[in-house]
A and B are shown apart, each in its own frame.
Chain A
Amino acid sequence: AQKVTQAQTEISVVEKEDVTLDCVYETRDTTYYLFWYKQPPSGELVFLIRRNSFDEQNEISGRYSWNFQKSTSSFNFTITASQVVDSAVYFCALSEEPGGYQKVTFGTGTKLQVIP
């Protein structure tokens, strides 16, 4: 069975600090997808990134970067120079059969508070 663990329940940082959100996953499949979503206080889920299991290249998008390490089953998310607008709950998620209709399993989320 698939499982996603986000050990950090809540993190507080001061604006402009860098912050890394940890994500560790478990799966028996060799083919899977990993996701990060942002959920601001308004509730909607905002898609941030999708990474397939065969692509271990790290990715950078503006102030966001992701570090995928299959050897440790981790998919960590770093926000550089954090801003107040980054305050939200961030979910890491895993899907084992991306080509089909398999469900997405979410981690418990990490609440990030950026203090001005």
Chain B
Amino acid sequence: GAVVSQHPSRVICKSGTSVKIECRSLDFQATTMFWYRQFPKQSLMLMATSNEGSKATYEQGVEKDKFLINHASLTLSTLTVTSAHPEDSSFYICSARDLTSGGASNTGELFFGEGSRLTVL
């Protein structure tokens, strides 16, 4: 089945540095990808919708300049956490919808990446 891959799976960085996380759809094209954030023992919260070839749509309360999203191709979206601070430490998960997998309903199966755990020291 369709697979979404994230890299890196774990990253540790110093406060003030920027970190880039990649999300790739491996065997399907995704014009739209989603970025979620999960704090320990909490649910997944949608941060933004990444649109290929255009600007991302951010959820209320998410800083656009802090979390830069680039969707440069139909198989790759990147999330860059700029000037990271300890409070940015979290589990970041991306997802993408494979519109070819919905069958007659054409709803598209939603696939999630493995997640990336960011720790900012």
Given contacts A103-B34, A103-B59, 14 further A-B contacts (CB under 8 A): A43-B117, A44-B112, A44-B113, A45-B93, A45-B112, A47-B111, A50-B109, A52-B105, A99-B108, A101-B49, A103-B46, A105-B46, A109-B42, A111-B41
Q: How far is the CB of B44 from chain A (nearest CB, A)?
A: 5
Decide if B107 is an interface residue (CB 8 Å cutoff).
yes
Residue of A nearest to B91 (CB): A43
Q: Is B56 an interface residue (CB 8 A)?
A: no
Residues of B within 8 A of A (CB): 32, 34, 41-46, 49, 59, 91, 93, 95, 97, 102, 105-115, 117
The CA of A91 and the CA of B36, in the complex, are separated in Å by 14
A96-110, CB < 8 A from B: 98-99, 101, 103-109
Secondary structure call for the B interface: strand
Interface residues of A (CB under 8 A from B): 33, 35, 37, 43-45, 47, 50, 52, 91, 95, 98-99, 101, 103-109, 111
- Whether A108 lies near B46 (C-beta < 8 A) is no
Determine which of A50, A91, A99 lies in contact with B44 in the assembled complex, contact meaning CB atoms within 8 Å: A91
Q: Provide the residues of chain B in CB contact with A44, threshold 8 Å.
A: 112-115
Tell whether, in the assembled complex, residue A106 and residue B43 are in contact, meaning their CB atoms are under 8 Å apart. yes
| Known A33-B107, A52-B105; contact A101-B97, beta-carbon cutoff 8 A | yes
The one of A33, A43, A91 that contacts B115, using a Cβ cutoff of 8 Å: A43
Closest to A9 in B: B41
Chain B residues near A105: list those with CB within 8 A: 46
10 shortest A-B CB distances, which residue pairs?
Answer: A98-B107, A45-B112, A44-B114, A43-B115, A101-B32, A108-B43, A106-B44, A106-B43, A103-B46, A109-B43
